[in-house]
């Protein structure tokens, strides 16, 4: 029986990941713990004492507000970061994908294999965060199991479009800007640390079109039963659209880069 | 129907406005070793990449194993091995892992990959480095590993783009020996090079390529017979005296080439030509009689010396 082509590509990524999985998962575990303790409990103690908080946070504690969102933000950061230097590496430094492309593997199969790998790696990071949330009474619910796939989809909504773009770069000079001017602002203002209706009016539509806000709403709704996540189908559709368009774009840009 | 492994006719490759391969015709027969000899930018790599089904042809026609690269690229690639001009090894993996994972791209089972890895590392004399990282390996070792990797699918056809460029003479001889053994096993070899001695050593037949075109085709011996004399007399003069002496030497031998650092006189009998040089009262700083090589063929065909 033959192994699907995408799985063969995935095996390369897995083999290399086996050498760094410890530090990756430790990072995925420690970061949310820091945010949960520092912001969730520390800042939360201040926020929850304010009389407005009941109105602002729809009657949940700040910890309950923040914790599930970390599933989505971790997915975004994990998916975003592995789609920059690591993807470009396969084309311009190690030529890993160029080497693969001279075997029976086709460019679009290499793109599919990368997508499969992104899914795996994001799922590992998100599961580590879910493990952290399971340590706290407020967030130890079966809803975590629903939030995990929602967060993975959020991660793919970033990873796939960014990968398509990275594969067209001739060097990595613009990569730090993506983190500084796209991922970190979304992390801070995308609805994880405070509700986006606190943003200036003109910025709110921006939040609605970013995948992160939709992912956060889904995760929050899944983990905290009293939260109304709004139109779940719309959230999922937006995330799926980003991921599917991203995958199609990857197939196209990989073909262009690998078949000059 | 021809049983040729590769048939190209009027094959062209154009990048934007630049024509890299400008209408070439050639055939490679099963079991033969076929070379592309040419200077930098001649279009050797562009041609190899079209044969390797990783670069679509612009026009003309190309078949490999009787198949069309546009339609059956994946199947063609599964039956051949590729040694690219730059190694493209996976720097994050060990020597053995590089072979194993490459075999997986061809869907060869893990246990079979392991078996072939042991065999191939032995073949290229890298068994003792199996578990080392790739990066610290020397250039020659990386090249040998790349050749081993290209053999993991037991290819019928092996494409080698400048297999020994940048290697020391001893490493080159080791590689030539390995390639010779592959040829004896019946593997068809197609290689590019800008080394004359390599072409003479390895190629049954070769084409001389220049500026995207084929200037001549034949066996090394045949090309030398056709485009050069049996022997060559090389004369060196003090700096700036080349031109003046060239005038006096006119008419000696069949042909004369004036190079920046020396004058070459083509004659079937070099010693005889040297006698005539002395009789005319010309006194070179140094003189040398040697047999003609592909270098001379290249000079004759293109008017330029091949640069390494
Ligand atoms: N992807 C590309 N885009 C544009 N031009 C290209 C591309 N690849 C090759 N060329 C051009 O085509 C010409 C032939 O290049 P090619 O690499 O085939 O030469 P070569 O004979 O292999 O030379 P070398 O001995 O230096 O390896 C060069 O002028 C090169 O700049
Ligand atoms: Mg080349």
Nearest CA to ligand 1 atom 8: B46
Token representation of residue B32: 């033969």
Chain A nearest C-alpha distance from B93 (Å): 7
Region B115-136 average pLDDT: 95
Position in ligand 1 atom list of the atom nearest CA B49: 18
> Of B167, B193, B224, which closes a domain?
B224
Going from N- to C-terminal start, the domains of chain A cover 5-257
Has residue B301 been placed in a domain? Answer: no
CATH number where B57 lies: 3.40.50.300
Q: What value, to the nearest 5°, has the Cα angle with vertex A25 and ends A19 and A27?
A: 110
CA-wise closest residue to B204 among B215, B218, B193, B194: B218
Name residue B255's beta-bridge partners: B266
For residue B211, name the pLDDT band (cuts at 50, 70, 90). Answer: very high
For residue A235, name the pLDDT band (cuts at 50, 70, 90). Answer: very high
**Contact predicate B144/B87, CB 8 Å:** no
Question: Would the CB of B105 count as within 6 Å of ligand 1?
Answer: no
Burial letters B26-62, b for 16+ CB under 10 A, else e = bbbeeebbbbbbbbeebbbbbbbbbbbbbbebbebeb
CA-wise closest residue to B26 among B209, B151, B166: B209
Question: Would the CB of B155 count as within 6 Å of ligand 1?
Answer: no
B95 and B82 in a common domain:
yes
Residue of B17, B43, B208 to mutate, ligand 1, most atoms within 8 A of C-beta: B43
Region B180-202 average pLDDT: 91
Question: Would the CB of B275 count as within 6 Å of ligand 1?
Answer: no
Query: Does the pLDDT of residue A215 top 50, yes or no?
Result: yes
Range with lowest mean pLDDT among A15-24, A234-243, B192-201: B192-201
Has residue B109 been placed in a domain? Answer: yes
Q: Could you report the per-residue pLDDT of A177-205, keeping only the tens digit for each?
A: 999 999 999 999 988 888 888 888 888 88
Average pLDDT, chain A: 92
Q: How far is the CA of B43 from the centre of ligand 1 (A)?
A: 6
pLDDT value for B165: 86
B234 and B122 in a common domain:
no
Q: What single string gives the DSSP state of each residue in chain A? A: -PPPHHHHHHHHHHHHHTTTHHHHHHHHHHHHHHHIIIIIIIIHHHHHHSTTHHHHTTT--HHHHHHHHHHHHHHHHHHHHTTSHHHHIIIIIS-HHHHHTTSS--HHHHHHHHHHHHHHHHHHHHHHHHHHHTTSGGG-STHHHHHHHHHHHHHHHHHHHHHHHHTT-SSSTTHHHHIIIIIHHHHHHSSSSS-GGGS-GGGHHHHHHSHHHHHHHHHHHHH-TTS----HHHHHHHHHHHHHHHHHHHHHHHHHHH--
pLDDT value for A162: 97
Q: Which domain holds residue B40?
A: 6-224
SS3 state at B55: coil
Has residue B297 been placed in a domain? Answer: no
**Contact predicate A48/A70, CB 8 Å:** no
Query: Does the pLDDT of residue B150 top 80, yes or no?
Result: yes
Region A131-156 average pLDDT: 95
Q: List chain B residues with CB under 8 Å of A105.
A: 74, 105
**Contact predicate A82/A123, CB 8 Å:** no
pLDDT value for A94: 94
B238 and B217 in a common domain:
no
B263 and B119 in a common domain:
no
> Of B192, B224, B256, which closes a domain?
B224
SS3 state at B37: strand
> Of B197, B224, B251, which closes a domain?
B224
Q: What value, to the nearest 5°, has the Cα angle with vertex A95 and ends A91 and A101?
A: 85
In percent, the amount of chain B with pLDDT more than 90 equals 66
By CB atoms closer than 10 A (0-12, 13-18, 19+), residue A62 is buried
Burial letters A38-47, b for 16+ CB under 10 A, else e = ebbeeebeeb
**CA dihedral of A46, A47, A53, A58, whole degrees rounded to 10:** -130
pLDDT value for B239: 79
pLDDT value for A226: 84
pTM of the model: 0.91
Q: What single string gives the DSSP state of each residue in A53-86? A: HHHHTTT--HHHHHHHHHHHHHHHHHHHHTTSHH
Token representation of residue A89: 């590496």
For residue B2, name the pLDDT band (cuts at 50, 70, 90). Answer: low
**Contact predicate A160/A118, CB 8 Å:** yes
Has residue B259 been placed in a domain? Answer: yes
Position in ligand 1 atom list of the atom nearest CA B38: 21
Chain A nearest C-alpha distance from B259 (Å): 38
B242 and B216 in a common domain:
no
CATH number where B238 lies: 3.30.70
B62 and B169 in a common domain:
yes
Helix axes B95-105, B110-123, angle to 10 degrees: 130
SS3 state at B286: strand
Compute CA A254 distance to the chain's CA centroid, rounded to the nearest angstrom: 22
Question: Would the CB of B15 count as within 6 Å of ligand 1?
Answer: yes
B240 and B188 in a common domain:
no
B140 and B258 in a common domain:
no
| Cα A1 to Cα B107: distance, rounded to the nearest angstrom | 10
Judged by CB atoms closer than 8 Å, whether chains meet at B56 and A259 is answered as yes
Mutate to test the interface with B, among A16, A103, A105, A259 (most CBs of B within 10 A): A103
Has residue B114 been placed in a domain? Answer: yes
Nearest CA to ligand 1 atom 11: B20
Judged by CB atoms closer than 8 Å, whether chains meet at B105 and A15 is answered as no
Token representation of residue A2: 């033959």
Number of folded domains in chain B?
Answer: 2
Has residue B209 been placed in a domain? Answer: yes
Mutate to test the interface with A, among B64, B71, B93, B101 (most CBs of A within 10 A): B101
By CB atoms closer than 10 A (0-12, 13-18, 19+), residue B186 is exposed
Q: Is the dihedral of CA B175, B178, B184, B185 positive or negative?
A: negative
Region A38-43 average pLDDT: 85
Q: Could you report the per-residue pLDDT of B252-280, keeping only the tens digit for each?
A: 888 888 888 888 999 999 888 888 888 88
Has residue B304 been placed in a domain? Answer: no
Query: Does the pLDDT of residue B308 top 50, yes or no?
Result: no
B274 and B133 in a common domain:
no
Query: Does the pLDDT of residue B188 top 60, yes or no?
Result: yes
In percent, the amount of chain A with pLDDT more than 90 equals 70
Query: Does the pLDDT of residue B174 top 90, yes or no?
Result: no
Measured in degrees and rounded to the nearest 5, phi and psi for residue B36 equal -110, 115
B78 and B137 in a common domain:
yes
Region A131-137 average pLDDT: 92
Q: What single string gives the DSSP state of each residue in B201-241? A: HH-SEEEEEETTEEEEEE-HHHHHHHHS-SEEEEEE-STT-
A94 versus A46: the higher-pLDDT residue is: A94
Query: Does the pLDDT of residue B104 top 50, yes or no?
Result: yes
B215 and B239 in a common domain:
no
Compute CA B211 distance to the chain's CA centroid, rounded to the nearest angstrom: 16
Position in ligand 1 atom list of the atom nearest CA B16: 4
Region B131-149 average pLDDT: 93
Region A51-61 average pLDDT: 77
Interface pTM, i.e. ipTM:
0.90
Give me the total of CB pairs closer than 8 Å, taking one residue from chain A and one from chain B: 64
Q: Could you report the per-residue pLDDT of B35-67, keeping only the tens digit for each?
A: 999 888 999 999 999 999 999 999 999 999 999
Query: Does the pLDDT of residue A125 top 50, yes or no?
Result: yes
Nearest CA to ligand 1 atom 18: B43
Position in ligand 1 atom list of the atom nearest CA B194: 25
Residue B65 at interface with chain A, using a CB cutoff of 8 Å: no
Question: Would the CB of B20 count as within 6 Å of ligand 1?
Answer: yes
B70 and B105 in a common domain:
yes
| Cα B91 to Cα A93: distance, rounded to the nearest angstrom | 10
Has residue B307 been placed in a domain? Answer: no
Compute CA A82 distance to the chain's CA centroid, rounded to the nearest angstrom: 10
Q: What value, to the nearest 5°, has the Cα angle with vertex B186 and ends B185 and B190?
A: 115
Task: List residues of A whose CB lies inside 8 A of any B CB.
Answer: 2-3, 8-9, 11-12, 15-16, 19, 94-96, 98-106, 258-260
Residues within 5 Å of ion ligand 2, judged at the Cβ atom: B 44-45, 85
Average pLDDT, chain B: 91
pLDDT value for B305: 66
Helix axes A62-81, A143-166, angle to 10 degrees: 30
Question: Between residues 70 and 99 of chain B, which touch chain A (CB distance below 8 Å)?
Answer: 73-75, 77-78, 82, 84, 86, 88-93, 97
For residue B3, name the pLDDT band (cuts at 50, 70, 90). Answer: confident
């Amino acid at each position: 029986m033959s192994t699907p082509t995408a799985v063969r590509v995935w095996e390369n990524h897995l083999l290399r990941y086996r050498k760094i999985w410890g530090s990756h998962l430790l990072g995925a575990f420690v970061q949310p713990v820091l945010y949960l303790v520092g912001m969730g409990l520390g800042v939360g103690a201040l926020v929850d004492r304010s009389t407005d908080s009941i109105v602002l946070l729809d009657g949940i504690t700040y910890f309950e507000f923040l914790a599930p969102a970390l599933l989505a933000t971790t997915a975004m950061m994990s998916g975003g970061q592995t789609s920059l230097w690591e993807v470009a590496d396969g084309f311009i430094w190690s030529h890993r994908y160029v080497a693969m492309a001279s075997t029976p593997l086709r460019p679009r199969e290499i793109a599919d294999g990368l997508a499969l790998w992104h899914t795996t790696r994001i799922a590992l990071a998100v599961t580590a965060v879910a493990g952290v949330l399971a340590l706290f009474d407020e967030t130890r619910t079966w809803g975590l199991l629903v939030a995990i796939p929602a967060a993975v989809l959020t991660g793919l909504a970033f990873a796939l479009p960014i990968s398509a773009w990275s594969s067209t770069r001739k060097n990595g000079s613009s990569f730090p800007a993506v983190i500084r001017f796209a991922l970190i602002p979304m992390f801070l203002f995308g609805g994880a640390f405070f509700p986006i209706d606190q943003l200036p009016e003109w910025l709110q539509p921006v939040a609605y079109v970013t995948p992160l806000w939709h992912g956060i709403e889904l995760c929050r709704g899944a983990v905290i039963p009293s939260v109304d996540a709004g139109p779940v189908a719309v959230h999922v559709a937006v995330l799926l659209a980003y991921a599917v368009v991203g995958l199609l774009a990857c197939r196209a840009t990989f073909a262009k880069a690998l078949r000059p | 129907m021809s049983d040729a492994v590769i048939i190209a006719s009027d094959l062209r490759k154009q990048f934007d406005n630049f024509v890299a391969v400008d209408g070439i015709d050639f055939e490679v027969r099963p079991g033969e070793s076929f070379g592309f000899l040419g200077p930098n930018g001649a279009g050797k790599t562009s041609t190899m990449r079209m044969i390797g089904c990783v670069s679509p042809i612009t026009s003309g026609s190309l078949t490999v194993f009787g198949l069309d690269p546009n339609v059956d690229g994946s199947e063609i690639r599964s039956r051949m091995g590729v040694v690219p001009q730059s190694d493209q090894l996976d720097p994050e993996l060990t020597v053995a892992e590089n072979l194993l994972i490459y075999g997986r791209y061809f869907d060869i089972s893990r246990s079979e990959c392991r078996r072939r890895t042991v065999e191939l590392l032995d073949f290229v004399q890298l068994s003792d480095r199996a578990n080392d990282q790739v990066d610290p390996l020397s250039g020659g070792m990386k090249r040998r590993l790349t050749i081993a990797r290209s053999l993991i699918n037991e290819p019928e056809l092996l494409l080698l783009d400048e297999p020994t460029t940048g290697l020391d003479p001893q490493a080159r001889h080791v590689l030539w020996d390995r390639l010779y053994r592959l040829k004896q096993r019946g593997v068809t070899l197609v290689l590019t090079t800008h080394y004359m001695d390599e072409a003479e050593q390895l190629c049954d037949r070769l084409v001389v390529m220049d500026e995207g075109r084929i200037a001549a085709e034949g066996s090394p011996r045949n090309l030398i017979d056709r485009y050069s004399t049996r022997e060559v007399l090389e004369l060196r003069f003090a700096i700036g005296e080349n031109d003046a002496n060239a005038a006096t030497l006119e008419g000696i031998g069949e042909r004369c080439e004036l190079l920046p650092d020396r004058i070459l006189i083509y004659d079937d009998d070099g010693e005889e030509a040297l006698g005539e040089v002395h009789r005319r009262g010309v006194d070179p700083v140094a003189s040398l009689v040697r047999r003609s090589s592909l270098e001379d063929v290249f000079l004759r065909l293109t008017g330029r010396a091949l640069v390494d």
